[in-house]
Amino acid sequence: MTVTDLKTSFSSYFNQTSSPAALAVFRMMFGVLMMISMLRFWFKDWIFQLYIEPKHHFTFYGFEWIKPLGPYTYLLFIIAILSALLICIGLFYRGASILFFLSFTYIELMDKTTYLNHYYFISLLSFLLIFLPANAYFSVDAWRKPQINSDKIPSWCTDSIRLLVVILYFYAGLAKLNSDWLFHALPMKIWLPAKNDIPFIGGLFNELWVAYLFSWIGCLYDLSIAFLLLYKPTRKLAFLSVVTFHLLTSLLFPIGMFPYIMIGTALIFFSTGFHQAFIRKIGAILTVSHSFLTPVRTYSFSKIQQNLVTVGLLIFFSFQLLFPFRYLLYPGELFWTEEGYRFSWRVMLMEKMGAASFIIKDEMGKIIEVDNKDFLTPQQEKMMATQPDMILQYAHILKEHYEKAGFENPQIYADTYVSLNGRIGKALIDPTVDLSKEKESFRPKHWILTFQDEIKGL
Amino acid sequence: MKNIKTQILFLLLATLVSCVDSTENISQPDVSTDRKEMLTFWVEELILPSYAEFDKDLQAMLITADDFTTNPTEASLSAFRTSWTEAYISWQNVEMYEVGPAEKYTLRSFFNIYPADVAGIQNNITSGTANLNLPPAYAQQGFPALDFLLNGVAAQEENILAFYLDSEKGAQRLSYIKVLVSRMDTLLDQVISEWKGTAKDDFINRTGLDIGSSTASLVNAYVLYYERHVRSGKFGIPSGATIASAGTPNPDKVEAYYKKDISGKLAKTAQLAFSNFFNGKANGKQGPSLKSYLNSIGAKDPSTGKLLSEYINEQFSLIDNLVEALSDDYYYQIETDNEAMVKVYQEMQKAVRILKVDMTSAMSITITYTDNDGD
């Protein structure tokens, strides 16, 4: 294929149009699930426990200015909930999607210890939604302004969401291609027996072969499911397995709303007919006119918009494809150092537990051991104990605190002990390195001790 | 198309089968992953019989205390001391079970917080109206307070008896002893009778591993006990090995400081009870335990293939040997060879980490007690 051919097929793809029904259903589903997620978070009092109660927060490198806003943190959630509602009904859609992306992403960047891959996924989805005409059909906006009501939108709009889902699943599957997961059934072998008192099926979780089966099925599922959803003959069966798989994981693991979000998102792969029928049903309940549901108009971007969006999408998806592989630039075992672990679709991939205590020395000969609970919540302490970048951040929190408390140039040493996938615990951080002198950066952290084993694979 | 799929599936299955480490075998005959069985054994064969045994020794102490307080003589004092020693040793077998009713009544706080608060005890004797339920009164009661009252009120043996025969204050002093021993009896009664009531079934039926489940609660209590009350309490604080004590030994903070020559026996008993619980051994019985559970879920280091329970028992026997070599009098031990005490602390710290990190990780239990050095 010549360059010209490629260009032609590329631009012809970008000129293809299709029904907006799938995107409209996705918009509504997304809005509803986001409202439920945020309200659930609120009612469980997590806003207070995770963002207001802790004395210190683990910010993201480069985003240190993003911190909880005290009591105004609730306002952030109110903004996110209201904008999710507006997204759902498609009113003031563009503004609402920008507001949702900003408020939700702000919330997720406030504290690293609450990081979850599916929050990242939601941030990315809501970012995409800003640029998609998800309100061009079956929305309050389209009802208010009939001139935007369309029965055709560019195909890439719906496809871009599909592509993001494809990447998520496929990369989650790639991450499982390692010797611990496939050949030792780790961490499944550890996690499943903990659930052996579930009625009826509990006994199975004691069986080693079940742990292997779960590992292999989980891996094959992640690698293939998005493609099976894309391919029409296998779609229905694939969706059924999406529902089964995610409900099973929600039964076994404390993963909150994630299974429901993934089940809802998988609907994006369904045909126009499916989504049209769904919209007609809701339309009947709302008694909207037939003409509202059958506009004859093609939503189009201006030439400039089209070009900007094309370039933007290319950058966005190239980033999505490359960023998870940044771990290759670091020496050492990824699971151990976690340099390049986040934002890479590594979901429920390892059992890691640790303990970390800190010793402060100063020039005047003072020496004390820190009581972590004076600074961190149990949840923060647990997350910090196994993740080197958080250990460093915490060391700097301690440095600042003890300087104020009258320590002369305090030196901070970490005494760590971490167990990874059942390996007997070892020190994670070099106990002789004064962490107060070390700086966060994207460079490899020389003070992480070498992992004394090998996990083969990606 | 179908054919290719079948072939791929077959290939994958073949790879799977060939890659499964054939030496791995989860089901061994004498082990079980049934947590209900384990919880039942714990409560019926370990916890309750240990409490019954302790109760027997406490009742014996009550009788001698009664003799002494009604008729303080050299003989009744000596008998009281002997039974106090026996009961204190027996206590070491139950102190770790701070779960269920014992947790509810915070039994340990009223039985064994040391060093004894001597000034507080003297105040209580004078005032005669102390509220012993409040945290400041923890160190004014239980075995440590009796240790002071039986062995520490005077330097000379005959002066101790004289302390209680004092025409002016003797009666008040004896009545404080009565208050303390009857209080211990009441508290233990409450715990035992609640265990025998609904607490037992409740404990057995919470079979999960989430926060609040029986296994998780007990493992939390078990590890906390070892970390704070064995590692730090019996060794770290008196020897000055904890960083908080900055290397300064505090021999006056040993357990049974006034009696002195039993601190070693107390610690050895505690260490043995602790490792026996891990191995499911007590009162001549052997049954489902943390060890058998870990073995049955296949908890082993994937790089060495060694069982986690072996790591733990090796560390326990290393500690046993070190503890065995110590004097029975830890005050004397610290004064003469504190290094040996510090060494025990260090090895116990390693055991704490294996239990707190490796064991809980293997079992999918969350440690919910916050680490508190408090020393």
Q: What are the tokens at A274?
A: 């499916």
Q: Cβ neighbours of residue B215 under 8 Å, at least 6 residues apart?
A: B35, B38, B39, B207, B208, B209, B363, B365
Whether A176 and A249 share a structural domain: yes
Domain with residues B31-205, CATH architecture: Up-down Bundle (1.20)
Residue A293 lies in a domain: no
Averaged pLDDT for residues A9-20: 89
If we measure between CA atoms, which residue out of B230, B189, B181 comes closest to residue B83?
Answer: B181
Does residue A187 have a cis bond before it (omega within 30 degrees)? Answer: yes
Residue A210 placed within a domain: yes
CB within 8 Å of chain A, chain B residues 245-284: 246
Q: For the whole model, what pTM was predicted?
A: 0.90
Nearest beta carbon to residue B357 from set A184, A212, A417: A417
Task: Measure the CA–CA gap between A200 and A189, rounded to whole angstroms.
Answer: 19
Residue B9 has pLDDT above 50, yes or no: no
The reply to whether B368 touches chain A by the CB within 8 Å rule is yes
CB-based contact B358 A425, cutoff 8 Å: yes
Tell me, what's the pLDDT at A1? 54
Are A41 and A62 in a shared domain? yes
Q: Is A187 in the same domain as A317?
A: yes
Residue B17 has pLDDT above 50, yes or no: no
What would the two tokens of residue A129 be? 């939604």
Q: What is the per-residue pLDDT across B138-172, written as a single tens digit (0 to 9) for each?
A: 999 999 999 999 999 998 888 999 999 999 999 99
B255 pLDDT higher than 50: yes
* Contact across the interface for A373 and B357, Cβ inside 8 Å: no
**Cβ neighbours of B250 (radius 10 Å):** 15
Asked if the C-beta of B22 comes within 8 angstroms of chain A's C-beta atoms, the answer is no
Residues of A in contact with B232 (CB under 8 A): none
* Count of structural domains, chain A: 3
Confidence band of B28 (pLDDT split at 50, 70, 90) = very low
Range with the poorest average pLDDT among A56-60, A74-78, A285-289: A285-289
Q: Which residues of A touch B357 (CB under 8 A)?
A: 353-355, 417-419, 425
Report which of A24, A160, A31 is spatially closest to residue A104, judged by C-alpha positions. A31
Residue A256 sits at φ, ψ, to 5 deg, of: 55, -125
Q: Are residues A176 and A318 in the same domain?
A: yes
Mark whether A148 and A235 lie in a shared domain: no
Domain ranges of chain B: 31-205, 208-375
pLDDT higher than threshold 60 for residue B30? no
Co-location of A229 and A309 in the same domain = yes
For residue A9, tell me if it sits in a domain.
Answer: no
DSSP labels for A144-202? Answer: H-GGG--SBEEHHHHHHHHHHHHHHHHHHHHHT-BHHHHHS-TTHHHHGGGGTTSTTTG
Question: Residue written as tokens 């009742």?
Answer: B59
A362 in contact with B, Cβ within 8 Å: no
Q: Is residue A188 part of a domain?
A: yes
Q: What is the predicted pLDDT for the residue at B370?
A: 58
pLDDT tens for residues A165-219? 999 999 999 999 999 999 999 999 999 999 999 888 899 999 999 999 999 999 9
Task: Judge if A197 and A323 occupy the same domain.
Answer: yes
| Tokens 């890659």 belong to residue | B19
- Asked whether the beta carbons of A85 and A42 are under 8 A apart, the reply is no
Which H or E run includes A359?
A: strand A352-361
| Residue A208 belongs to some domain of the structure | yes
Residues A321 and A215 in one domain: yes
Q: Which two tokens stand for residue B54?
A: 């302790």
**B135-149, B282-296, B316-330, B334-348: which has the minimum mean pLDDT?**
B282-296
Please tell me whether residue A449 adopts helix, strand or coil conformation: coil
One domain for residues A143 and A182: no
What pLDDT score was predicted for residue A28? 98
Nearest by CB to residue B311, choosing from A421, A424, A452, is: A424
Beta bridge partners of A298: A152
d(CA B173, CA A387): 57
In angstroms, rounded to a whole number, what is the distance separating the alpha carbons of residues A44 and A38?
10
How much is the ipTM here?
A: 0.90
The predicted-structure confidence for A322-373, as pLDDT tens digits, reads as follows 999 999 999 999 999 999 999 999 999 999 999 999 999 998 888 899 999 9
Q: Which two tokens stand for residue B279?
A: 């191995």
Regarding whether A115 and A180 lie in a shared domain, the answer is no
Determine contact: A374 vs chain B, CB below 8 A: no
Based on the domain organization, do A170 and A129 belong to the same domain? no
**Residue B74 — φ and ψ, nearest 5°?**
-60, -40
Chain B residues in contact with A202 by the CB 8 A cut-off are: none
Q: Measure Cα distances from A47 to A53, A73, A108, A115, A118 in Å.
A: 9, 8, 12, 14, 18
- My answer on whether A142 and A177 are in the same domain is no
Q: Count CB atoms within 10 A of the CB of residue A13.
A: 12
Give the distance from CA A330 to its chain's centroid. Answer: 22
Average per-residue pLDDT in chain A? 95
CA distance from start to end of chain B: 71
- Residue A70: pLDDT over 70: yes
Measured between CB atoms, which of A194, A368, A421 is closest to B244? Answer: A368
Q: pLDDT-derived band of residue B21, with 50, 70 and 90 as boundaries?
A: very low
Q: What is the pLDDT of residue B155?
A: 87
Confidence of residue B243 (pLDDT cuts 50, 70, 90): confident
pLDDT digits (tens, 9 = 90+) for A259-274: 999 999 999 999 999 9
pLDDT in tens, A395-452: 999 999 999 999 999 999 999 999 999 999 999 999 999 999 999 999 999 999 999 9
Question: Is B228 in the A-facing interface, judged by CB distances under 8 Å?
Answer: no
Q: Rounded mean pLDDT of chain B?
A: 90
By residue range, what is the domain housing residue A235?
154-269+301-344
- Amino acid letter at B135? P
Could you count the other beta carbons within 10 Å of the beta carbon of residue B290? 24
Give dist(CA A124, CA A263) in Å, integer. 17
